[in-house]
Amino acid sequence: MSQFIDDDREMPRFRVNRQAMVDPEVFAKERDQIFNQVWLYIGHETELKKPNDFKTRNVAGRPLIFGRDSKGKIQVWINSCPHRGAMICREPEGNARFMTCFYHGWSFSSGGELVSMPGDTSYGPDFERPGLVAPAKVDSYRGFVFVSFNPDVEPLVEYLAGATDFIDLVADQSEEGMRVLEGTHEYSVKANWKLLVENSVDGYHAVSTHQRYFEMVMASGVEIDSAKLGQSVGLDLGNGHAVIAGGPATGGLFGRPLSKEGTAERDSRFEEFRAKYGDEWLDRMSGSRNLVIFPNLVIIDLVMGVVVRKIDPLAPDYMEVSAWELIPPEEGDELKRQRLDNFLTFWGPGGLASPDDVEALETCQRSFASSKELPWSDVSRGMAGEDQPVGSDELQMRAWWRRWNALITGEVLPGEQHNPPPASYTAPRRVPEQQPTT
């Protein structure tokens, strides 16, 4: 048994020491041994619509500029002037060919080159004029852009491992390419960041924590099918990534019913995808998925909405969260309206799910003041037995914690051995046939 993880295969039992949630030394190790080493999400390509668009973001405690240069290429820069360190972009977003540091007036192009500096001649003809500095690595997968501060990090696709399948299931829902809507849902939680990672792939808490939401849905005339609630599995995707994958037709299960027109449009769109990708991939696509990409990115495709959630730890007991909605832009107005309504009702700042989750996590963090008397949290559900754990079990959290433990302590714990899930949960993506050119 390590300092933080009790992974007992004989009982079986899996526990996490609550010191991992409160200890400043653990938090410092996370910054150094996780966030400085792996791939981290910064944003989606569709947030930057035009050349010279930019957003400012924080990743691993570092201020970054996420933008397109004048030629339309995605660029990421450290948001710090190489002269004396002042932030170059202090606005959350904008469009500018040139970015000028307000401190001493050094100006840079959207491609990162230093283009002017007051009193240029005072520096001499041989002075090396520094440009903006980029993170060690920048790459993207299906529109999702990641950075790494580790020059030796493995290629992004290798890092994502089995998570690529579930990103594809989201990205394939649009012929034009899934697009992030304008606006960001930003909030903070007075709790350790790892609690929200757990919560994001925790199917066990749904009915008890979100009782008000289910009562509202049932009051609108929907009958919650308990059989469908059980049609999900938890999957370890490698490298700490994990997912709750729902079976066919669970994607809209938890939301208010679509109108007749909305249902007809959605069915028509999915039939087009069936012809393109085949029955098995379409069945997977029409299901739901709660995906965590280690360490702090969550993509949830549920209740007729896709939320992209970035979790930023700022202290052992405090995190900031940024969330965006991803949509297929070719949807009609009625279906888009209902998608937005379902999204806001469940995840929005005044919704009936996110505030419940925040309250639950903050009460956990307050109770961790008694971690000496009650040192362990249990994450054992679904560990016993040969069958693949279902979505209300906790395999997905254990997979994440084993990766966390390996990076923090160096101890590599083996994955669990269960019978494989039904093939319908893992059917491969059929490559669409290329249309003949004329």
d(CA 180, CA 182): 7
Distance separating alpha carbons of residues 352 and 165, to the nearest angstrom: 30
Between CA 46 and CA 308 the distance in angstroms is 13
Q: Render pLDDT for 56-72 as a digit per residue (tens, 0 to 9).
A: 999 999 999 999 999 99
Q: What percent of the chain has pLDDT over 90?
A: 76
Rounded Cα distance, 330 and 175, in Å: 8
The pLDDT of residue 303 is 78
Query: Which residues contact residue 260 at a Cβ distance below 8 angstroms, ignoring those fewer than 6 apart?
Result: none
Q: How far is C-alpha 157 from the geometric centre of its chain's CA atoms?
A: 16
pLDDT digits (tens, 9 = 90+) for 237-259: 999 999 999 987 666 656 777 88
Rounded to whole angstroms, the Cα distance separating 397 from 38 reads 19
Q: 353: closest CA among 230, 199, 166, 182?
A: 199
Give pLDDT tens digits for 413-423.
Answer: 999 999 999 88
Buried (b) or exposed (e) across 410-433, using 16+ Cβ within 10 A?
eeebeebebeebeebbebebeeee
Burial group, residue 289, by CB count within 10 angstroms (0-12, 13-18, 19+)? buried
* Predicted pLDDT of residue 228: 60
Q: What is the mean pLDDT of residues 143-170?
A: 98
Kindly report, residue by residue over 117-141, the tens digit of the pLDDT: 999 999 988 999 999 999 999 999 9
Q: Once rounded to an integer, what is the mean pLDDT over residues 17-37?
A: 98
| Residue 140 φ/ψ, nearest 5 degrees | -140, 160
Q: Where are the domains of the chain?
A: 40-140, 162-425
Q: What is the pLDDT of residue 85?
A: 97
What angle (nearest 5°) sits at the alpha carbon of residue 427, between those of residues 422 and 428? 155
- Helix, strand, coil % (nearest 5) of the chain? 30, 25, 45
Q: Name which CATH class applies to 162-425.
A: alpha beta
Q: How confident is the model over 366-385, as pLDDT tens digits?
A: 999 999 999 999 999 999 98
Token pair recorded at residue 75 = 């660029």
Query: Contact at 8 Å (CB) between 376 and 18?
Result: yes
Contact between 231 and 250 under an 8 Å Cβ cutoff? The reply is: yes
User: pLDDT tens for residues 98-118?
Assistant: 999 999 999 999 999 999 999
Question: What is this structure's pTM?
Answer: 0.95
Element holding 291 (H helix, E strand)? strand 289-293
Distance CA 61, CA 59 (A): 5
CATH assignment of 40-140, among 1.10.10.10, 2.102.10.10, 2.30.40.10, 1.10.443.10: 2.102.10.10
Nearest to 132 by CA among 172, 181, 183, 83: 83
| Euclidean distance between the first and the last CA atom of the chain, given in angstroms as a whole number | 65
The yes-or-no answer to whether 40-140 and 162-425 have a common fold is no
Total count of residues recorded for the chain: 438
- Ordered DSSP codes for 158-216: HHHTTHHHHHHHHHTT-SS--EEPS--EEEEESS-HHHHHHHHT--TTHHHHTHHHHHH
> What value does the mean pLDDT take over residues 29-44?
98
Q: In angstroms, rounded to a whole number, what is the distance separating the alpha carbons of residues 422 and 293?
A: 23
For residue 370, count other CB atoms closer than 10 A to its CB.
Answer: 10
- Rounded to the nearest 10 degrees, the angle between the axes of helix 395-409 and helix 193-200 is 150
Side-chain half-sphere exposure of 29, counting CA atoms within 13 A: 15
DSSP state of 255: S
pLDDT in tens, 172-189: 999 999 999 999 999 999
CA 359 to chain centre: 21
Amino acid (one-letter) located at 131: G
